[in-house]
Amino acid sequence: MIYDMLFYVFSILTISTSLMVVFANHPVKSALFLIFTFVNVAGLWMLAQSEFLSLALIFVYVGAVMTLLLFVVMMLNVPRSEKHDVKKSIYTSLNLVIGLIVVYILYSAAIIISQPVHIQSIESPTKAIGMVLYTDYALAFLITSIILLIGMIAAVSLCFEGRRSDSKSQIISEQLKANKASRLKFAPKKRNSK
């Protein structure tokens, strides 16, 4: 009973906030609604008894990706989108009709594919995922880590413009070229010093 109620609360919030992501008039608002959508979908996954993935969704997306997205949105100073004119609203309603048809098709396919079964609980889902991930899928896991490294290098090197000429920084090659003659010099001997 509580399970059903929680499911309906999470699903209604998910659908309404994802609609707000699409139709919000400012990118900051839609980014904040996207965070709320992720939290709600994490709740849904928690109800489907995949605790590890729902917590990973909150850590990875709400913690890292959405912070990055909000920083970029605030940095780029995106203007508010214009009022929807008539032609655009016609397109929007057409999209909605096509979307409802697709929802109906996917719904009937889901009904055909999935027979309602009782969700069985595994003893410790996180442990089970870890057992599979580090044995059967170890190669894919390593490749994922390499892809993450390559992506990080790519993102940094795309935005890096080279060293600025006026920035104060340590130039190691210049430091290593220094020898004793360039640092030390004899002071001239003063004549009347006693």
Partner 1 sequence: MIGIEHFVIIGCIVFVIGVIGIAVNKHNLISLLMSIELILLACNTNFVAFSKLHNSLVGEVFVFFVLGIAAIETAIGLAIMVLIFRQHKTIDSNKFSELKG
Nearer to partner 1, 116 or 188 (CB): 116
* Per-residue buried b or exposed e for 85-101, using 16+ beta carbons within 10 Å of the residue's own CB: eeeeeeeeeeeeeeeee
Nearer to partner 1, 113 or 190 (CB): 113
Nearer to partner 1, 82 or 174 (CB): 82
Quote the least distance from Cβ 162 to partner 1, whole Å.
13
CB 59 within 8 A of CB 67: no
Quote the least distance from Cβ 57 to partner 1, whole Å.
7
DSSP-H helix ranges across 48-85: 51-57, 66-76
In angstroms, the CA 118 to CA 88 distance is 45
Quote the least distance from Cβ 158 to partner 1, whole Å.
4
Enter the tokens of residue 178. Answer: 């220094």
